[in-house]
Amino acid sequence: MKSLSEYFKSMYFWAVLLLLLCAAVSSYAIHTFPANLLAAIAACALLDAAVKKLFLKREIKLSASAVISGIIIGSIAPLNAPVAAILAAAAVAIASKYVLRIKGRHIFNPATLGLLVSLSLFRLGDMWWAASGFNFAGFAVPVTLLLIIANYKAEKLKISLPFLAVIAAFYAATQFFKNPITAVGLLNFFTSLPFYFAFIMLSEPKTSPNAPKEQIIFGIAAAVLVFLLESKHTKYAFLVGLLAANLAYSTYRNYAAQKGAVAVAAAKNN
């Protein structure tokens, strides 16, 4: 049994806690009970447990990563989405964890793939309602800024911070030349940045790099992809951009592993 201090050291603990906090604050601010959020969490947790028990013959345990996938699905899908859409997203997300793998590692962010497939099939938009925060004295307060704690615990700041810096620069270049720059405008601009996406989804541990240089490149490349997709008015720009970045990194990782194996074999033969 883990001690309390061990839980506080866990990235998964902070991710679940802070994601639920964001959802709670946002649902309170918009006066809506997030039934789909609960459905998504339950569906992902139960499906993950079923796969482990029935197919992998493992002991049934509550999977923190499955819970996080459920929170993300329930936080981005529309609040009024049909339950069938939530269940479809959960099924695709969990299936992708165990089927779409190369050498034991995920290719795509599970929740993102589940959302893209389900929202496309049911012709729904991506709402991102849990990233809305609340207003205080006329100013937006993004609770998603707190997600930097989970990002820090996962040692992925070198992904999220370059991403936010580059995407902010792109947004500034296209927006600030149209309107006068004011202190209030700068504050609103900062609070509207995609912290939820950067700190949680983009930097998901199993589909993003661990090496510092690779993290920086990954974050910058993802920012360019997302901005280009948004500038072309691509539907689900953030979801598509993230999956494209996942695929590119998985391809590179596999190529680097094969190249390393060849080099080791050649060294042994010599």
Which comes out higher in pLDDT, residue 187 or 222? 222
136 pairs with which residues across the strands? Answer: 139
* Angle at 250 (CA atoms; ends 255, 229), nearest 5 degrees: 125
- Give residue 8's Cα distance to chain centre: 21
Percent of the chain topping pLDDT 70: 90
- pTM of this prediction? 0.92
Residue 199, helix vs strand vs coil? helix
According to DSSP, the β-strands at 105-106 and 101-102 are antiparallel
Which comes out higher in pLDDT, residue 86 or 188? 86
According to DSSP, the β-strands at 134-136 and 139-141 are antiparallel
Of 63, 74, 62, 61, the C-alpha closest to 19 is 74
pLDDT of residue 225: 97
Joined together, the tokens standing for residue 150 give: 């989970």
Residue 121 has pLDDT above 80, yes or no: yes
pLDDT of residue 180: 65
Q: For 35-56, what is each residue's pLDDT tens digit?
A: 999 999 999 999 999 999 998 8
pLDDT of residue 264: 63
Asked if residue 47 lies in contact with residue 67, where contact means CB atoms within 8 angstroms, the answer is no
Beta strands in 131-189 (DSSP E): 134-136, 139-141
pLDDT of residue 106: 86
pLDDT of residue 258: 80
pLDDT of residue 152: 95
Residue 21 has pLDDT above 80, yes or no: yes
3-state secondary structure 70-127: HHHHHHHCCCCCCHHHHHHHHHHHHHHHHHCEECCEECCCHHHHHHHHHHHHCCCCCC
**Left (φ > 0), alpha (ψ -120 to 50) or beta: where does 98 sit?**
alpha
Residue 262 has pLDDT above 70, yes or no: no
Burial (CB < 10 A; 0-12, 13-18, 19+), residue 41, is: buried
Residue 5 has pLDDT above 70, yes or no: no
Residue 220 has pLDDT above 80, yes or no: yes
178 — pLDDT class (breaks 50, 70, 90):
low
C-alpha 243/C-alpha 70 separation (Å) is: 18
Angle in degrees, 0-180, between the axes of helices 212-231 and 237-269, rounded to the nearest 10: 150
pLDDT (mean) for 223-232: 96
C-alpha 127/C-alpha 38 separation (Å) is: 16
Mean pLDDT of the chain: 90
pLDDT of residue 232: 95
pLDDT of residue 177: 59
Residue 266 has pLDDT above 80, yes or no: no
Residue 183 has pLDDT above 80, yes or no: no
